[in-house]
Chain A
Amino acid sequence: MAFDAHHDTSDEALMILYANGDRLAALSLTRRITPRVMAYASRLLSGDRAEAEDVAQETMLRLWRIAPEWRQGEAKVTTWAYRVATNLCTDRLRSRQRRGRTTLDDAPEMPDPGLSEVERLVETDRARALDAALNLLPERQRQAVVLRHIEGLSNPDIAAIMDLGVEAVESLTARGKHTLASLLSGQKDAIGYEDH
């Protein structure tokens, strides 16, 4: 565990401290928020580490710039960061779609949208199988499922991040999970599960 001089201080209070010139608050926020944004962006960007790092850095840069205007009680820092990261990832995914998937940067790490790609990846390990299946979900379903089941956020927080109602989030996560079950059902032997 990295050193956190402000381990008892909330993220929101750290924002105020940072804006007041506290350098340790900058370090604490960096250590707390960056890994979460990085992991989330990586899930949304199909595991493209370089792009995920760019998104994480850009998200944090925007966080530093908003800090002087931050008011405690208005929003959670993590919710705000996930929301910015979601938008940045969406922009990048759309940019990919416009450019096509033939560039050298994209080609090695983008899975094919067909089930055969899932079948190939599922032979490696269970986590990668799920990761590959996640990439086949529609964008909004993937965002909701990742935020709910991997990042562990509450439905109201996800609703704030995705600018949706809580019921819409519940619907997205339920449909996403159902789709994942369908995608992975044919792979149960490879990923170590039996039918129930």
Chain B
Amino acid sequence: MQHDDIDDLFVDLAKAAPAPSEALIDRVLADALREQPKPAPLAPPRTVGRWSQMVRRFGGVPTLAGVTAALVGLAVGYADPTTVDLLAGGLSSYSIGDADLFPAADFLVTEG
């Protein structure tokens, strides 16, 4: 017998492979589902505090910080300069009254 003939026999034998019964497939699948790792339970939702809710309503911490900065800027803009000096702790000896805002424009207001 030649090896090529045996190769033909191998093909025949492979075609005649015993198939698993449906009962075996069912048992294997039952094992699979029994052994399958269960997904970890979901963590309970975190309760959100009132402060967090308010921050979130304003658009989060970055937005709130921007709004706060704007309000402070507005307050400083409206404040009396002496108040600003007071807020600065009187560190500045320079009075707002001493300020010459347009020193080079005096000739424009000179009559004559």
Chain A residues within CB distance 8 Å of chain B:
18-21, 23, 26-27, 29-31, 34-35, 38-39, 42, 47, 49, 52-53, 56-57, 60-61, 64-65, 67-68, 126-127, 129-131, 134, 149-152, 177, 180-181, 184-185, 188, 191, 193, 196
Chain B residues within CB distance 8 Å of chain A:
1-3, 5-7, 9-10, 12-21, 24-25, 27-29, 31-33, 35-39
Pick the contact of B39 from A20, A34, A35, A151 — CB < 8 Å? A20
Q: Which residue of A lies closest to B23 (CB)?
A: A53
Pick the contact of A188 from B1, B10, B16, B35 — CB < 8 Å? B1
Q: Which residue of A lies closest to B21 (CB)?
A: A53
Contact B33 A26 (CB under 8 A): yes
Q: Which residue of B lies closest to A184 (CB)?
A: B1
Q: Which residue of B lies closest to A187 (CB)?
A: B1
Contact A49 B9 (CB under 8 A): no
Contact B9 A127 (CB under 8 A): yes
Contact A30 B10 (CB under 8 A): no
Contact A56 B28 (CB under 8 A): yes
The complex places the Cα of A188 from the Cα of B18 at a distance, in Å, of: 25
Residues of B within 8 A of A129 (CB): 9
Contact B12 A60 (CB under 8 A): no
21 A-B residue pairs with Cβ-Cβ distance under 8 Å, sorted by A, are: A19-B37, A26-B33, A29-B32, A34-B24, A38-B19, A38-B20, A49-B18, A61-B28, A61-B31, A64-B31, A64-B32, A64-B36, A67-B37, A126-B9, A126-B12, A127-B9, A150-B17, A151-B14, A181-B1, A193-B2, A193-B5
